[in-house]
Amino acid sequence: MVSSLLTSSTRLDLDKQIHRLVASMIMPVLYDYPMLMSEADEAIERIEEFNRCISDASALLKGAYLVVIFPWMMHIPARS
């Protein structure tokens, strides 16, 4: 990361560089994936797309369903 920060002549997007750094540290250890040399790598784009899908899901918000607030509601029979 440091070498890409020093040698890049274009304007850097620090967030993308940090995403690449984190993915480059985690993916080789967990998944035996090669080091990511570019912040435009396909793997990083897929990870960011997945994160956008998860963060946009309203069902994941706390309190989206009453059963989360009132756990005893799990025992109410379903309507047929």
Segment among 1-5, 21-25, 40-44, 52-56 with least mean pLDDT: 1-5
Higher-confidence position of 9 and 16: 16
pLDDT 10s digits, 18-47: 777 888 888 888 888 887 777 777 888 888
Q: What are the residue ranges spanned by the domains of the chain?
A: 2-75
Examine the pLDDT at 9 and tell me if it is beyond 60.
no
Give, for 26, the enclosing helix (H) or strand (E).
helix 14-31
pLDDT of 79 higher than 60 = yes
Q: Return the C-alpha torsion angle 63, 67, 72, 75, nearest 10.
A: 180
Q: Quote the pTM value.
A: 0.50
